[in-house]
Structure 1
Amino acid sequence: MINEQIRDKEVRLIGEDGEQLGVVATKDAMKLAKEANLDLVKIAPTAKPPVCKIIDYGKYRYELARKEKEAKKKQKVTDVKEIRLSPNIDENDLNTKANQARKFITKGDKVKVSLRFRGREMAHMSTSRQILDSFYKCLEDVAVVEKPAKLEGRSMIMYLTEKRQ
C-alpha cells in the first residue's frame, strides 16, 4: 500500500536514508513524504504498528523486480525425461537406452523408465522386473532409484535421479 491507501492511525516510520523516526500519526508521515517529494510505502503490514518507509515507489518496485529476476536465474529446473522399454528388449538395445539415460542424468534431469506391456505380454510381468533391474545396474555409478519399479496400468514405471556425492 502506498500514500492514501494506508488507513492506519499511526505507523512506525523509517526515513528516506534508513533512520528510524519512531511511531508517528499517518497524517504526519504523509506530510513528511510529500515534503521530500517521495511516497509513503507500507513495508510490513502485519507489524504492530505497521512499518512504513519514505521512498520513491517506482524505484522500489524496480528493485523488487530486479531481485526477483536474479533469484529466478539461480534456480535449477529439472526436467523429467522418459525412456520407454518393452518386455522383449534385446541386450544391445537396453545398453543403447541406458547410454541415453546416462546423458540425461549427467545433465541433471530425472529419468522416468517405463516398461510398456501390450497384449499377451501382460501374462509375463514377473520376469520383466529383471529388465528394469538390469537397466538400473547399467546406471548404478551415476544414478539412484528415486521411486522403485511399480505397476501402473499397462506399464511398470521407475524413476532415476542423479547420485549425490
Structure 2
Amino acid sequence: MKRKPAKRISYKINKNIYGYKINKNISATELRLVGNNIETGIYSLKEALKRASNLGLDLVEINSKTNPPIGRIIDYKKFLYEQKKKTKKYKQEKMRTKEIRLTPQICEHDLLFKRKHAERFLKSKEKVKFTIFFKGRSIIHKEKGKILLLKCASYLEKFGKIEQIPIMEGKKMYIILSPKRLC
C-alpha cells in the first residue's frame, strides 16, 4: 500500500525582503502610530488604515515585538529606498592600511623597491604607513629619518596625499599616506 506524500504547509508570513508588514498584511488589531504628520497614540487597525488611505500613504508595521506593535504612515517606496541606502553604507569596505618598515640607513635601491610597493598599494586604494625604526644610537639622527619619510611622500605625491605628517612615537617615526580619489 502506497502512502501519499504529506502536504507541505507554507508558514511564510507575507513580508517583504526587509521584514516589514504593510497595509492589509498587518495582523495586529491595535497599533501605536508614530510619524511626522500623525498624532502619536494607539489606534485600531481599521482606523490606522483609514488614516493612511486618506493621506495617500502606506501603513507600515515597524516593530512587531512591542505591545502594541509600532506602525508608521509613510510612503513605502521611499522608505524602502532609504533602507537600501542604509544597508549599502554598512556594506562599504573600510580602507586598509599597509605598513612599510624602513631604517634610517636604508640604501637607495631598497628605498626605490619599497616605494614601488607603496605605489601599488595606493593604486589599489589602500593607505600606506611608512615607519622608521631607530635602533641604538641611530635615534640621534631623527632629522635624517624625517627627511627620508618626506622624500618617500614627495615621490608618491601623484598617487597619494599625506594624511598625517611625520610623528615620533617612542623609538619609531611614521607618516601615513592615503590614496587620491580618481575623478
Could you say which residue in structure 1 is the equivalent of 2:18?
none
Q: Distance in 1 between matches of 2:83 and 2:62?
A: 17
- Select which of 92, 98, 111 maps to 2:115: 98
Of structures 1 and 2, the one with the larger relative CO (CA 8 A, separation 6+) is 1
Could you say which residue in structure 2 is the equivalent of 1:52?
72
Could you tell me which amino acid in structure 2 is paired with residue 26 of structure 1? I
Could you tell me which amino acid in structure 1 is paired with residue 72 of structure 2? C
Q: How many residues get paired?
A: 140
Would you say the 8 A contact 1:42–1:53 is kept in 2?
no
Would you say the 8 A contact 1:33–1:40 is kept in 2?
no
Range moving further from structure 2, 96-105 or 132-141: 132-141
Identity over aligned residues, as a percent?
29
Q: CA deviation at 1:53?
A: 3.4
Could you say which residue in structure 2 is the equivalent of 1:118?
135
Q: Distance in 2 between matches of 1:24 and 1:86?
A: 66
Q: Distance in 1 between matches of 2:40 and 2:115?
A: 68
The alignment's C-alpha RMSD in Å is 4.1
Could you say which residue in structure 1 is the equivalent of 2:42?
26
Q: Deviations over 1:5-33 (max 9, x none)?
A: 73x7xx679xxxxxx9x7697343x3456
Would you say the 8 A contact 1:109–1:161 is kept in 2?
yes
Matched, 1:89 2:109: no
Q: What are the ranges of 5 or more consecutive residues in structure 2 without an aligned counterpart?
A: 1-25, 50-58, 64-69, 75-79
Q: Using structure 1 for the length normalisation, give the TM-score.
A: 0.63
Give the secondary-structure state (helix, strand or coil) at the position aligned to 2:149.
Answer: helix
Q: Using structure 2 for the length normalisation, give the TM-score.
A: 0.58
Q: Distance in 1 between matches of 2:35 and 2:132?
A: 63
Q: What are the ranges of 5 or more consecutive residues in structure 1 without an aligned counterpart?
A: 14-19, 44-49, 55-61
Give the secondary-structure state (helix, strand or coil) at the position aligned to 1:151.
Answer: strand
What is the 5 A alignment of 1:1-165?
3=28, 6=32, 26-28=42-44, 30-32=45-47, 41=61, 52-53=72-73, 68-73=86-91, 75-164=92-181
Give the secondary-structure state (helix, strand or coil) at the position aligned to 2:95.
Answer: coil
Give the secondary-structure state (helix, strand or coil) at the position aligned to 2:101.
Answer: strand
